[in-house]
């Protein structure tokens, strides 16, 4: 009996040591990924990428896909983002100086919202995986390294983010990022809502720190365009 107990004790200690070693290795890999994202953030000026956004609604079991090109740039006023949505319906989305605007040419309307006091939080989500610092994530999320995964021929580091703030957790129960370790940017993102809905975003043809035209950050409105600002 004593030999059996001794064997079990050594077995448990061995398993515990293996678990500690695996955890240390995961923490080391996570720190390397976050440090690479930090370096990318320090040098970040602009990013341009083609995208496919897939919004899934669990209740009706439907997918709504949008395709286009997204632009990011950082200047003295903060971070700007513009999305030129080309399919299935033409739309332009612009975030600049704390204001979100969506232009729908088909109805000649711009719908605009103010980020207000939530501007900083909005910008942090905006640059999640695109110019945001890696180690800043651990202040806002529980960050877990899930190993590597191939995405469109790229061996990515997969991270799971769990929001620490209840307000954020009420919007997103968890977030997955697939980071290209060579460039320190995300090539895929998935945002899960408590309802079971999610948005999967894939980014291709990523170009970093190339000069972007100012026109990319301007809505192509006409004299007929009306502007509405919903309240609430």
Both tokens assigned to 79: 């971070």
Q: Which residue has the tokens 């043809």?
A: 205
48 within 8 A of 70, measured Cβ to Cβ: yes
Q: DSSP state, 164? A: S
The residue range of the domain holding 26 is 2-228
Band of pLDDT at residue 11, cut at 50, 70 and 90: very low
Judged by phi (left if over 0) then psi (alpha if -120 to 50, else beta), residue 131 lies in left
**pLDDT for position 169:** 86
Report residue 57: phi and psi, to 5°. Answer: -115, 115
Band of pLDDT at residue 26, cut at 50, 70 and 90: low
Residue 96 has pLDDT above 90, yes or no: no
Looking at the 3D structure of the chain, how many domains does it have? Answer: 1
Q: DSSP state, 217? A: G
Query: Most distant CA pair in the chain: distance in Å?
Result: 90
Segment 105-126, tens digit of pLDDT: 999 999 988 777 666 666 667 7
**137 CB burial (10 A radius; 0-12, 13-18, 19+):** buried
Task: Specify which residues 110 forms β-bridges with.
Answer: 103, 227
Residue 82 has pLDDT above 80, yes or no: yes
3-state secondary structure (DSSP) of residue 220: coil
Query: Please, where are the H alpha helices in 80-136?
Result: 119-126
Question: Looking at residue 123, which CATH number applies to its domain?
Answer: 2.50.20.10
**pLDDT for position 64:** 92
Compute the distance between CA of residue 118 and CA of residue 111 in angstroms, rounded to an integer: 18
Segment 137-196, tens digit of pLDDT: 888 899 999 999 999 999 999 999 998 888 888 888 999 999 998 999 899 999 999 999
Q: Which of 69-73, 114-118, 205-209, 226-230 is the least confident region?
A: 114-118
**pLDDT for position 132:** 83
213 within 8 A of 69, measured Cβ to Cβ: no
- Residue 129 or 193, more confident: 193
Compute the distance between CA of residue 145 and CA of residue 30 in angstroms, rounded to an integer: 6
Residue 6 has pLDDT above 70, yes or no: no
| Cis-peptide into 88, omega within 30 deg | yes
């Amino acid at each position: 009996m004593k030999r059996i107990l001794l064997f079990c004790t050594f077995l448990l200690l061995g398993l515990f040591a293996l678990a500690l070693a695996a955890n240390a290795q995961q923490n080391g890999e996570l720190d390397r990924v976050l440090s690479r994202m930090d370096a990318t953030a320090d040098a970040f000026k602009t990013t341009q990428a083609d995208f496919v956004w897939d919004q899934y609604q669990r209740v009706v079991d439907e997918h709504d896909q949008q395709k286009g090109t997204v632009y990011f740039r950082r200047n003295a006023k903060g971070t700007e983002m513009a999305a030129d949505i080309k399919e299935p319906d033409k739309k332009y989305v612009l975030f600049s100086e704390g204001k979100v605007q969506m232009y729908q040419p088909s109805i000649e309307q711009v719908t605009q919202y103010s980020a207000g006091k939530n501007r900083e939080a909005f910008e942090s989500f905006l640059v999640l995986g695109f110019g945001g610092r890696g180690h800043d994530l651990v202040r806002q999320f529980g960050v877990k390294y899930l190993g590597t995964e191939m995405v469109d021929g790229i061996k990515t580091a997969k991270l799971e983010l769990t929001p620490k703030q209840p307000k954020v957790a009420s919007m997103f129960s968890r977030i997955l990022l697939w980071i290209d370790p060579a460039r320190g940017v995300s090539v895929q993102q998935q945002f899960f809502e408590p309802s079971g809905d999610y948005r999967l975003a894939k980014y291709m043809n990523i170009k970093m720190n190339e000069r972007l035209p100012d026109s990319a950050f301007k809505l192509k409105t006409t004299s007929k365009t009306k502007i509405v600002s919903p309240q609430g």
